[in-house]
Structure 1
Amino acid sequence: MMRLTMPRALMVLGGALLLTYAFAIAPTTSGGPESRRTDPVANVEPRVAAVAETSPSLRPAVELFPPADKAFIGVMTEKGPHDFAALDTFTAATEHQPQVMLFSSGWASDEFDRTLFDRIRGRGMLPMLGWEPWDYTVDQRAREKNGLLARQIDRIRSDQPDYRLSRITSGSFDPYLRSWAEGIKSLGYPVAIRFAHEMNGDWYPWCEKANGNRPGDYVKAWRHIHDLFRAAGATNVIWVWSPNARWDKSTGSLSQLYPGDDYVDWVGATGYYGSGVFTNYWSFDAIFGPTITEIGGFTSKPMVITETGASDAAGRKAEWIRQTFQTLPRHKNIIGLIWFEVDKELDWRVTSSPAVAAAFAQGVADPRYRFTWSPDMRPRLDVGHP
């Protein structure tokens, strides 16, 4: 039989007092009737929320754009966000809602306009700005002259000393650049910027082979703009570097024009079937393959086909589109494709004929292209080497 010594008596008395407090006193001193709820979810939920705030592993996962094993299909139209009629026609013909809209803006005349970005966002698409340091009216005037060959037009529009790359790096455009940086920062949602595309050619004033530019000037100009945006706090930019698809060995090394992984988020490429050296039938891999391989040799950044289209001059446009959609899934590093839905020099539009529209609609019906862009998505930044 256990003897009731003084220490044991004190332990029993203490336990009794604790039980009395727990069941009788505490419930009546911690609040009104709602504080005496016995619902276990109500009592646990605030504690879980508090832990989630401090534990990254319990926070909701941020969805990537595009999601894993998905690729987006974007569009560029002649009037872009100024008029969505062409977009609506494209969407109806292809039965596909694009996740990205690319539109262009020239430095000579275009100021930042929030409305254009908001209109694209309102249509459920990521805005991608084709930002072009030049006066594009020079190109328009050259095209209006009768008898000029394409290469003559290239030489006229690329000769714009006011937009020489060295002037960008020296700070001549800094007030203009800051106005855009502040504007894009104020949007509060992601914006892709494809700055000075096709820089490996010689038909734009920002190409190193034109306009008195020198080797290394392009990278310096890119980094200057990127650093200015970063200093302004415009961290919602997806920087897209986009050369023209390689057409021969004389186009030089793309790596010499690459600003570096710290300055680029997505890499891109422009290429069309039915134009220039690609007038004869070239498959998607024939047009883009060498460029994809070369870029993959110096970066693992995700790739976007930032401009493409096909001509039906040889009657094989629908075939090219079907073959392209069969090929794309094999390129795991390609996260998106933007179609040039414009009738310019040649009719690149998907809506050029019912057969072409049907081929495109069949291609985008694949589940890998079926998802919705959201401003809350975080851009995918790494997919590994091709």
Structure 2
Amino acid sequence: MLAHDARRSGRTFPRRTVAAVIVLMLLVAGCGGLANSPVAVDPIAPTDRLFGAFTYGGVWHGMEPVLTLEGLLGRRLDVVHWFTNWDNAYEAWMVEVVAEDGRLPLISWQPHRQSVRSIADGEHDDYIRSWAEGVAAATGLVYIRPFPEMNGDWVAWNGDPDNLRAAWRRIAAIFDDAHASNVRWVFGPNVTDEPRTDANRLERYYPGHDVVDVLALSGYNWGTTRDYIGWRTFEQIFDGAYQRLTALGDQNVWLAEIASSEEGGDKAAWITAMLDSTAFDRIAAVIWFNEAKEADWRLESSEDSLEAFRAWFADGAGE
């Protein structure tokens, strides 16, 4: 694999040791002089992958949804994921309350009412700067996923890859100007391009290796809740997009959104197979979408589903 800038490596941390996460955060914050030291990204063993989740209710009103999920699992989450719109100010307390026990914050940043063209043209620089200054003041690392699932026609920022790339780079430049060296940029398309045209391929949205720390994917097992999709294995869902994504750069890969329906198959077996899979050796984090939405994606949708996670962690694979 190629050597590259350590600050831009997308390197993640073994989930076995929360203390190691904290120590590495301190090293990153205090060793800016090492930022240009080249490192290689090693394959990540399944037992070293981070595990995180988006929880229904997020962290907008406190940590109770996260703590409840952690209680069900019998372990602390490594990554806490939430979504926010561009109409919302940077909320420092959310980042700090997530990070205070060693968890990593992952924020999906969604411009529902702001076009990528207007962002690229500088119409929202003050707003971006307020976020950059907030992140710069944060205690540890802050992972931000701008324009999530940009290759999907269900999001407002789909369909204009040239301006999206320009907008992304403008955002990153403003964060650099604010000395927000603790930000980590997460490029997170969907596993399928919709529409499935050459102009909408996920590769066209990639803004450049220098402004992407982590490569990520969203993918769901819809089962029979979508007759035209059907029940699919973990590898069937992610293989094609993973191969395309990892061809873009040598950063580690996060599954920023993943979940399975109960309908059409054995969800517990699907979860166990997903957690045990060694098919994709650059996956460094698995982040579950824990909400009953289009389907009941929750890990606690059934006792068997929950037990699949708990058994895997109890076996020591997730410690």
TM range, smaller chain: 0.7 to 0.9
Identity rate of aligned residues, in percent? 30
Task: Tell me, in whole angstroms, the C-alpha distance in 2 between the residues paired with 1:343 and 1:248.
Answer: 23
Unaligned runs of 5+ in 1: 1-55, 57-64, 136-162, 209-213, 371-386
CA contact (8 A) 2:148 2:189 kept: yes
Residue in structure 1 matched with residue 152 of structure 2 by the alignment = 201
Q: 1:315 to 1:330 in 2, by over 3 A?
A: closer
Note if 1:245 corresponds to 2:224: no
| Alpha-carbon distance, 1:285 to partner | 0.7
Following TM superposition, by how much is the alpha carbon of 1:313 offset from its aligned partner in structure 2, in angstroms?
1.7
Q: Does 1:85 align with 2:64?
A: yes
Q: Please list, as runs of the form range in 1=range in 2, the aligned pairs for 1:126-275 lying within 5 A after superposition.
A: 126-135=104-113, 163-208=114-159, 214-246=160-192, 250-252=196-198, 253-274=201-222
Return the offset for 1:360.
1.4
Q: CA RMSD in A?
A: 2.4
Q: Partners of 1:86 and 1:315 in 2: how far apart?
A: 28
2:206 maps to amino acid: Y
Distance 1:220 1:366 in 2: 46
Separation in 2, partners of 1:68, 1:313: 31
Q: Hey, what's the Cα distance between the residues in 2 that align with 1:248 and 1:170?
A: 26
How is 1:298-309 mapped onto 2 (pairs within 5 angstroms)?
298-309=248-259
Pair 1:243–1:278, CA change in 2 (3 A): farther
Whole-angstrom distance in 2 between the partners of 1:308 and 1:165: 26
Q: Residue 368 of structure 1: CA displacement? A: 4.7
Q: What pairs with 1:34-73 in structure 2 (closer than 5 Å)? A: 69=45, 70-73=48-51
Change in 2 beyond 3 A, CA 1:309/1:215: closer
Q: Is residue 369 of structure 1 aligned with residue 318 of structure 2?
A: yes
TM-score by length of 2: 0.80
The change in CA–CA distance for 1:276 and 1:223 in structure 2 (over 3 A counts) is: farther
Unaligned runs of 5+ in 2: 1-32, 34-40
Aligned to 1:105: 84
Partner of residue 286, structure 2: 337
**Judging changes above 3 Å, is the alpha-carbon distance between structure 1 residues 365 and 119 closer, same or farther for their aligned structure 2 residues?**
same
**Which secondary structure state, in structure 2, belongs to the residue aligned with residue 358 of structure 1?**
helix
Residues 1:282 and 1:315: Cα distance change in structure 2 (over 3 Å)? closer
TM-score normalized by structure 1? 0.66
CA contact (8 A) 2:221 2:259 kept: yes
Q: Distance in 2 between matches of 1:243 and 1:112?
A: 23
Deviation by residue 1:53-76 (Cα, 9 ceiling, x = unmatched): xxx9xxxxxxxx999641100010
Q: Distance in 2 between matches of 1:230 and 1:276?
A: 43
Residue in structure 2 matching 1:288, options 231, 238, 244:
238
Q: Say which one has the larger Rg.
A: 1
Letter matched to residue 317 of structure 1: K
User: Matched residues in 2 for 1:95 and 1:66: separation?
Assistant: 29
The list of structure 1 runs, each at least 4 consecutive aligned residues, that deviate by more than 6 angstroms after superposition, is 65-68
Match of 2:95 in 1: 117
Residues 246 and 288 in structure 1, CA contact (< 8 A), matched pair in contact too: no
Taking a change above 3 Å as real, the CA distance of residues 363 and 223 of structure 1, as seen in their structure-2 partners, is: same
In the alignment, the residues of structure 2 paired with residue 126 and residue 248 of structure 1 have an alpha-carbon distance, to the nearest angstrom, of 30
Instruction: Give the aligned length.
Output: 274
**In proportion to residue count, which structure has more helix?**
1
